[in-house]
Amino acid sequence: MFNLLKTAVLMAAITALFMLIGGYVGGRQGMVVALLIALGLNFFSYWFSDKLVLKMYNAREVDETSAPQFHRMIAELVQRAGLPMPRVYVIDEAAPNAFATGRNPEHAAVAATTGIMQVLSANELRAVMAHELTHVAHRDILISTISATMAGAISMLANFAMFFGGRDSEGRPANPIVSLLVMLLAPLAASLIQMAISRAREFEADRGGAEITGDPQALASALQKIQRFAQGIPLEATERHPATAQMMILNPLSGGGLRGLFSTHPSTEERVERLMAMAAHMPR
């Protein structure tokens, strides 16, 4: 519930930031233009993201004949979660990772690397895929697309400010120093909010996945293993297409410290801590 509320507050914050910057730079007309451009840029990604990312990773679709154990695992999890059966894919990569994609539960796909299947136990892999199915159930692709659209619109408005400057309430040119600050700080603030939304959704997917399996400890163990084994094993498709890194259960390109503010995922340590706390209160 806390992460759902946090997501709502952050979405409201990025919307308010968009309206504030839009009103400063170009008034209502400027806001509409920037929003329409950002919507157009993100619409294609939202509608066709599943096909694009699966092709980027050379994912091969499997069924109960070609990958019986893995396919049965997904079928059992979706039954427990009350979801339609997604398309199931395997990626021939040594780096352990997994992701979900698709615009809604009726058009979803889940994928896992061969590396993650080798590294994790059956219970750990089950917990990871339950996490990914929670993303599907919560329509997180839609939420991330909306936040990306708003952040993109804010960046465009900041660019407008660079070329045209801002206007005060009477239509006169605004202070150039203020315009410069808007140009520099508005995209930064939008990115921080967008990344915070993504981290909140990851926490929520951890919680939902643990509830589906009834085993938070298995997901905690899986996250620790993925982090440990992924070091030094590049996920080649992610390095070629870094924008897709945010889809993974563990972002292979994220860092700690101040970089964590711009990370799409919370730290593994914090995720594990929350899952272990959840396990302590969950009846066996």
Mind giving me the DSSP string for the chain?
Answer: -HHHHHHHHHHHHHHHHHHHHHHHHTHHHHHHHHHHHHHHHHHHHHHHHHHHHHHHTT-EEE-TTTSHHHHHHHHHHHHHHT-PPPEEEEE--SS--EEEEESSGGGEEEEEEHHHHHHS-HHHHHHHHHHHHHHHHTTHHHHHHHHHHHHHHHHHHHHHHHHH--B-TTSPBPPHHHHHHHHHHHHHHHHHHHHHHHHHHHHHHHHHHHHHHT-HHHHHHHHHHHHHHHTT---HHHHH-GGGGGGBSS-TT--SGGGGGG-SS--HHHHHHHHHHHHHHS--
User: pLDDT tens for residues 176-189?
Assistant: 676 677 777 888 88
Q: pLDDT of 142-170, one tens digit each?
A: 788 777 777 777 777 777 666 655 554 44
Question: How high is the mean pLDDT of the chain?
Answer: 83
The residues spanned by each domain of the chain are 2-281
Tokens standing for 1? 């519930």
Q: What is the pTM of this model?
A: 0.82
What are the tokens at 21?
């910057």
pLDDT above 70 for 194: yes
Q: What is the pLDDT of residues 226-279, one digit of tens each?
A: 999 887 787 877 777 777 778 899 987 765 544 556 688 999 999 999 999 999
Residue 31 pLDDT > 50: yes
Phi-psi group of 91: left, alpha or beta (phi > 0 → left; psi -120 to 50 → alpha; rest → beta): beta
Q: Distance of alpha carbon 224 from its chain centroid, rounded?
A: 19
Phi, psi (rounded to 5 degrees) for 232: 85, -5
**Active-site residue, from 124, 132, 202, 204:** 132
Residue 132 annotated to the active site = yes
103-139: per-residue pLDDT in tens? 889 999 999 999 999 999 999 999 999 999 999 999 9
